[in-house]
């Protein structure tokens, strides 16, 4: 039997897991409400922002509540939206512009800003530190700590220096226990501790299946002549319509001749041959997308999952000892393709409830009052209003679904007296490989489109190689039997970083190879594997992408 690891521990009033918009807004608000509170934030990225990937058009509502003087404090919101375009891409060569008045009002971006969410989080972290929050980048929360009553008492940071075979290297350092009166989990979409908490406390009882998309994004530096700072373009249709898949593209012109281009592929797709990465590469060849990129240079690449389930799929957010906030609980408004402002607001409401509880000197308890406080906030109201957007897209497709959304949102402001259901989970949607046709993906041209390896290279992803794989298979046989026979092992295609490969040995036998060091932490494998056989765990802290300003 392995000897029990002796761990040091530190005590806090509140431990926050994840330095994204939700976690940082929560930490700042806690200190604003009570500067005596001991608050710390752990972040698995090597620095704050290193793992943040978003569009991003930021709606500054929550920010203005948290820091009304954000302009004077030089928040990195430099590019106000000047123009919204909504395009229906009928094919590679054909586009129809949708007049703004016919689009769901949630797609209008007047008053919003085009930002790098990574840089925005770096700024938020500075504000948090100025308020006295302790931030520990490079420290992943790898497990939960429970007290004798079964309440969450904190987290364990990951051990460092464990070799692939489990032995301790010279650099071995056991993780620490961080104990808190309350622990707030703000890990973003499909957080691995969030997933554990949902299962442990059955937080999803009576809720619908959560739904997801994978968002692939590149940052380009484009020639001055074609740069239009403040332009926001959203697209539907090609190329996903060719496989009857859903999703949409975005293209945002931000400061310094930069253009963010991306494609969100709905993970409810049914064709196992589909490769979100290759769909994105050909997307950039569409005539009205490539004109924004030609002559430019690609400077960054990455991918991240995004929640789409809405309030029907939101788990209960409170449990003994803590709260689940932001995208970890699915607070994203998919009708706006925005989740930063609602994630921040959920964190701020969490802070108010926790600070009040500590102020009253109550013993740590289940913060059930969070639910009513959150439901009274504008964040929940806007999520309630858009609750039928995602299910309508799944039932009727992007075009008819958007027509329904127009009626529901623009004419009735979400007040229609029903809530559409969307019960089938994304991993259950794949059809057998033999009954579907593989899309024909053209070879990348090296100018607009690229291969996976050169893309992963510019995500600056790095993991210590000699460590246990952070991608665990419950049954190691499944990739080569069930998944291969039925679905031609889709992990080879849905992973945007080329982590999963089926390799044929010289003797003709096949093996399933996991190149864990390439992983960009998007969480798609944890979501889409048809057998739910892959579990994403935190690698050693600091490992993963190093996004400069995604």
Site residues (vs ligand SF4, CB under 6 A): 471, 495-497, 499, 519-525, 536
- Nearer to ligand SF4 by C-beta: 448 or 499? 499
The pattern of x and - marking residues 132 through 161 that bind ligand FAD according to CB under 6 A reads --------xx--------------------
Q: What is the dihedral of CA 140, 143, 146, 151, to 10 degrees?
A: 80
Is residue 20 near ligand FAD by the rule CB under 6 A? yes
Residue nearer to ligand SF4 on the CB measure, 496 or 542: 496
Kindly state the smallest distance separating residue 512's Cβ from ligand FAD, in Å.
26
Nearest CA to 45 out of 130, 117, 105 is that of 117
DSSP label at residue 532: -
Q: Which is nearer to ligand FAD, 125 or 405 (CB)?
A: 125
Does the footprint of ligand FAD cover residue 44 (CB under 6 A)?
yes
User: If contact means CB under 5 to 8 A according to the sort of partner, which of ligand SF4, ligand FAD, none does residue 455 touch?
Assistant: none
Q: Token match 């004798």: residue?
A: 148
In the complex, minimum distance from the CB of residue 330 to ligand SF4, in angstroms, rounded to a whole number: 18
Q: Which does 30 bind (CB under 5 to 8 A by kind): ligand FAD, ligand SF4, none?
A: none
Footprint of ligand FAD on residues 96-135 (CB under 6 A)?
117
Strand runs labelled E in 462-517:
471-473, 500-504, 510-514
CA atoms of 336 and 346, how far apart (whole Å): 17
The beta strands (E) that lie in 327-477 are given as: 471-473
- Position 284 contacts ligand FAD (CB under 6 A): no
**Tokens coding 393:** 């897209």
Residue closer to ligand SF4, measured from CB, 322 or 545: 545
**Cβ of residue 264: shortest distance to ligand FAD, in angstroms?**
6
- When CB distances are held under 5 to 8 angstroms depending on the partner's kind, the choice from ligand SF4, ligand FAD, none that residue 324 binds is none
* Cα 119 from Cα 122, distance rounded (Å): 5
Largest CA distance in the chain: 70
Among 23, 321, 322, 330, interactor with ligand FAD by CB under 6 A: 23
* CA separation for the pair 184, 169 (Å, rounded): 32
Stretch that binds ligand FAD, among 15-23, 74-82, 123-131, 272-280 (CB under 6 A): 15-23
Q: Are 42 and 157 in contact (CB under 8 A)?
A: yes
45 near ligand FAD (CB under 6 A): yes
> Between 351 and 522, whose beta carbon lies closer to ligand SF4?
522
Q: Which two tokens stand for residue 319?
A: 């449990």
Instruction: Looking at residues 376 to 435 of the shown chain, list those that interact with ligand FAD (rule: CB under 6 A).
Output: none
CB 427 within 8 A of CB 528: yes
Q: What value does the CA radius of gyration of the chain take, rounded to a whole number of Å? A: 23
CB of 328 to ligand FAD, least distance (A): 6
Q: What is the distance between the alpha carbons of residues 200 and 193, in angstroms, rounded to a whole number?
A: 10
Q: Between 42 and 433, name the residue whose CB sits nearer to ligand FAD.
A: 42
Query: Tokens representing 225?
Result: 């002549």
Nearest CA-CA partner of 25 in 151, 100, 117, 158: 117
Cβ-based nearer residue to ligand SF4, 208 or 278: 278
Is residue 251 near ligand FAD by the rule CB under 6 A? Answer: no
Q: Which of 494, 490, 90, 438 is nearest to 280 (CA)?
A: 494
Q: Which of residues 184-203 bind ligand FAD (CB under 6 A)?
A: 186-188, 191-193
The least distance separating ligand FAD from the CB of residue 262, rounded to whole angstroms, comes to 5
Position among 429, 514, 538, 542 found at the interface with ligand FAD (CB under 6 A): 538
The residue written with tokens 């809530």 in the block is: 419
Contact 33, 378 (CB under 8 A): no
Eight-class DSSP state of 428: G
Query: Which helix (H) or strand (E) element contains residue 297?
Result: strand 297-307
Residue 525 interacts with, from ligand FAD, ligand SF4, none (CB under 5-8 Å by kind): ligand SF4
Interface with ligand FAD (CB under 6 A): 17-23, 42-45, 51-58, 117, 140-141, 186-188, 191-193, 215, 217, 262, 264, 304, 306, 326-328, 332, 337-341, 343, 538
């Amino acid at each position: 039997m392995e000897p029990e690891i002796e761990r040091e521990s530190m005590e806090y009033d509140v431990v926050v897991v994840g330095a994204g918009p939700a976690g940082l807004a929560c930490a700042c608000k806690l200190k604003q409400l009570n500067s005596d509170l001991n608050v710390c934030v752990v972040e698995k990225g090597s620095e704050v922002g290193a793992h943040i990937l978003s569009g991003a058009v930021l709606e500054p509502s929550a920010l203005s509540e948290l820091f009304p003087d954000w302009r004077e404090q030089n928040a990195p919101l430099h590019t106000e939206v000047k123009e919204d375009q909504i395009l229906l891409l009928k094919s590679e060569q054909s586009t129809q512009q949708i007049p703004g008045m016919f689009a769901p009002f949630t797609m209008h971006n007047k008053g919003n800003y085009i930002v790098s969410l990574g840089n925005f989080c770096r700024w938020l972290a500075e504000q948090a530190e100025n308020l006295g929050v302790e931030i520990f980048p490079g420290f992943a929360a790898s497990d939960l700590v429970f007290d004798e009553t079964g309440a969450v008492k904190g987290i364990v940071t990951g051990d460092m220096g464990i070799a692939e075979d489990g032995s301790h290297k010279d650099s071995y350092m056991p993780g620490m226990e961080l104990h808190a009166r309350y622990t707030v989990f703000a890990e973003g979409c499909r957080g691995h501790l969030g997933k554990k908490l949902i299962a442990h406390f059955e937080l999803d009882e009576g809720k619908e299946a959560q739904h997801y998309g994978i968002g692939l994004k590149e940052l380009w530096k484009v020639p001055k002549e074609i740069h239009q700072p403040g332009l926001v373009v959203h697209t539907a249709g090609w190329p996903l319509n060719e496989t009857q898949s859903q999703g949409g593209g975005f293209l945002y012109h931000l400061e310094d001749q930069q253009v963010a281009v991306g494609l969100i592929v709905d993970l409810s797709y049914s064709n196992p041959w589909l490769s979100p990465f290759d769909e994105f590469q050909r997307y950039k060849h569409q005539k009205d997308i490539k004109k924004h990129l030609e002559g430019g240079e690609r400077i960054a690449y990455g991918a991240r999952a995004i929640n789409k389930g809405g309030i029907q799929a939101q788990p209960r957010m409170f449990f003994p000892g803590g709260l689940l906030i932001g995208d970890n609980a699915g607070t994203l408004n998919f009708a706006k393709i925005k989740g930063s402002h609602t994630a921040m607001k959920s964190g701020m409401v969490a802070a108010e409830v926790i600070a009040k509880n500590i102020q009253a000197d109550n013993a740590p308890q289940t913060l059930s009052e969070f639910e009513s406080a959150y439901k009274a906030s504008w964040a929940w109201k806007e999520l309630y209003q858009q609750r039928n957007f995602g299910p309508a897209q799944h039932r009727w497709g992007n075009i008819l679904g958007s027509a329904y959304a127009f009626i529901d949102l623009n004419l009735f402001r979400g007040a229609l007296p029903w809530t559409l259901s969307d019960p089938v989970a994304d991993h259950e949607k794949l059809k057998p490989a033999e009954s579907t046709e593989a899309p024909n993906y053209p070879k990348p041209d090296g100018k607009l489109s690229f291969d996976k390896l050169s893309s992963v290279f510019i995500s600056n992803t790095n993991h210590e190689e000699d460590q246990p794989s952070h991608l665990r298979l419950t049954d190691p046989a499944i990739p080569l039997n069930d998944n291969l026979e039925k679905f031609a092992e889709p992990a080879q295609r849905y992973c945007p970083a080329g982590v999963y490969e089926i390799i044929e040995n010289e003797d003709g036998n096949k093996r399933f190879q996991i190149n864990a060091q390439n992983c960009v932490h998007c969480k798609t494998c944890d979501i889409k594997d048809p057998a739910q056989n892959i579990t994403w765990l935190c690698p050693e802290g600091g490992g993963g992408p190093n996004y400069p300003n995604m």
